[in-house]
Amino acid sequence: MDYIGPLQQFKQRALATPQQPYLHQPVDGNWKVYSWGEVDDLARRVASGLQAMGLEQGDRVALLAKNSAEWLIADIGIAMAGMISVPIYATAGANTISYVLEHSDSKALFVGKLDSQSALAAANIDVPTIGFPYAGIEATLSWNAWLAEQTPIEVTADPGLDDAFTIVYTSGSTGKPKGVVLTSRNLAAASNDVVAWLPEGHNRIVSYLPLAHITERSMVTMNSFYSSIEIFYNDSLDTFVDDLRHANPTAFISVPRLWAKFQSKVLDQIPDKKLQRLLSMPFVGKRVAKKIRRQLGFEDCEFFGSGSAPISPELLRWFHRLGVNIAEGWGMSETSGASCTNQPFKASQLGTIGTACKSVELKTSASGELLIRGPSVFKEYYKNPQATAEAFEGDWFKTGDKAVQRSDGAWVIVGRVKEQFKTAKGKYVAPVPIESLLGSNSFIEQSCVLGSGLPQPVALVVTNAGSSVSRDELNQSLAATLESVNAQLESHQRLSNIVVCEEPWTIENDMLTPTLKLKRDRIEARYRQLIENEVAYSGNKPSGNTSVQFDNKIGWITS
């Protein structure tokens, strides 16, 4: 298929609809709206400014900032100058920032709002920095003043389809981040697949997931070039609900943890038993569901998606009863984003990742590993030919996910190849399917199943139960879930205990990646010895400030 590259597609749309609103940026309680023509003009100024700094075509330019209109304008400007963008997570620590800048050979850095400026200050940065126009940002150059000095370039670069467009660094859940080189063809192919899922006509979408992650970059930014989409940016966590209602999106993409928080927000207002009773009433149920969707900001939303990590089928069914039909998708940085999804939506395929996008092929290896090939599959790992060679089996990319295909064609991810562990009984266990079953309990917000060398697996969980829920009530709920989950498992997979960790797992305490994936090795390292002591010496509590105390199969870890 002949594709149009992202930059060429952006330029075509800007030329065709220069006055049409495109980007909506919250600034000091108000909304600044950029048209396609204004974005084009500013991006051309960015390109001019980078060239004036002595940068050349093919040079790498990094972006370190939370989502904003300026982020996208800089990204387009980098491409217009014939350079390659290198996004860095706004939550990255000093070591990661330094590593990515050095490994990518970046020649300049755009800086915007961050959770903390301390990581940036501690990082080893010896390249020019351009600061976006927000308070507290220290940089060599100021965005507004810098752009005002530039004359928009008239002739932009014209990258070929097989030229590198961006280098996306993996989140580093198992080691040093790898630089995934994505070409214009990769991104164009992925976007052409995905825009077919969106509602017909003009769409509105909220950009709040990290733009350094391929899901947001592909599903929001790139798709806006290939479809009629207005992008609304989120100012902060405190304003998220208000920003969502202001945007009134027609398409909304999130991750499992945030979908669970949406559910908790609803259940804080109405108990689930009462809600389900109301939803079962023919006329009342529709009104209740519509009211809840409106309160969440989904009044006009027609497309819902979830990705980045497995989501509980029970959570999907819960939202389905509200008329929120979440299409679970699957993809990787190496596949330019979503490559498989339950779209068009089928309720019968809830709990699966649906079927392959039209441009890709999927199959499994003899060991059950999911393999993929197609025009959206990445070019190479930057400066790592050995890792690139090891990632392929012929022309098939080895995803590292274990999967099975159902008789209806839908695919189910059953775990990561490297995440399987062997119990003391010599049996292999895949944790992800068990964690998915645990998600049926609405109190469980996070879960991590471990058990290498243990007689039976153990589940560590973080709950969202507030102070209104007693420990006895929570214990009873978790005990019922433990019994229900174990009834669905083979004997060697059954959980011996559920252990409640009272401290949430976050990016800040290094238990989650910037994309909210579990850092299993960190979680296990933190709690493993406590679990082993409790299992080996039942009743003899380990010493220290933190301890596990089992009570009818439910344990608690407190700091």
- Say yes or no to pLDDT of 230 above 90: yes
Which long-range contacts (C-beta less than 8 Å, at least 24 apart) are formed by 48-53?
Answer: 48/81, 48/150, 48/151, 48/152, 48/153, 49/77, 49/130, 49/146, 49/147, 49/149, 49/150, 50/77, 50/78, 50/81, 50/83, 50/108, 51/81, 51/153, 52/150, 53/107, 53/108, 53/128
- What are the C-alpha distances in Å from 416 to residues 17, 369, 421, 493, 524? 45, 8, 10, 16, 16
251-299+302-417: CATH number: 3.40.50.12780
Amino acid at 171: S
Encode pLDDT of 91-127 as tens digits. 888 888 999 999 999 999 999 988 777 777 777 788 9
334-362: pLDDT as tens digits: 999 989 999 889 999 999 999 999 999 99
pLDDT of residue 204 exceeding 80: yes
Strands (E), 93-151: 106-111, 129-131, 141-142
The reply to whether 6-224 and 420-558 are identical in fold is no
pLDDT attached to residue 434: 92
Look at 311-315, 477-481, 534-538, 549-553 and tell me which has the smallest mean pLDDT.
534-538
Q: What is the 3-state secondary structure (H, E, C) of 260-308?
A: HHHHHHHHHHCCHHHHHHHHCCHHHHHHHHHHHHHHHCCCCCCEEEECC
- State the pLDDT at residue 548: 52
When mean pLDDT is compared across 7-21, 395-409, 539-553, the lowest value belongs to 539-553
Per-residue model confidence (pLDDT) at position 551: 57
Q: Are strands 444-450 and 554-558 parallel, antiparallel or unpaired?
A: unpaired
Report the pLDDT value the prediction gives residue 452, as an integer from 0 to 100. 86
Give the Å distances, CA to CA, from 369 to 72, 307, 432: 35, 19, 15
Tell me what the pLDDT averaged over the chain comes to.
90
For the domain covering 420-558, report its CATH number.
Answer: 3.30.300.30
Percent of the chain predicted with pLDDT > 90: 62
pTM: 0.85
Q: How confident is the model at residue 280 (pLDDT cuts 50, 70, 90)?
A: very high
Q: Does domain 6-224 have CATH number 3.40.190.10?
A: no
Spatial CA neighbour of 190 closest among 161, 230, 211: 161
Each residue of 525-538: pLDDT tens digit? 888 877 777 665 44
Give the H or E element holding residue 190.
helix 184-194
Token look-up 């990590």 returns 309
- The pLDDT, as a whole number, for residue 558 is 60
Q: What is the mean pLDDT of residues 249-263?
A: 91
The CA distance from 310 to 414, in Å, is 9
Distance CA 6, CA 190 (A): 11
Closest by alpha carbon to 187, among 13, 394, 9?
9
- Write down the domain spans for the chain: 6-224, 251-299+302-417, 420-558
The C-alpha atoms of residue 318 and residue 313 are separated, in whole angstroms, by 9
| pLDDT above 90: residue 174 | no
- Phi, psi torsion values for 301, nearest 5 degrees: -75, 130
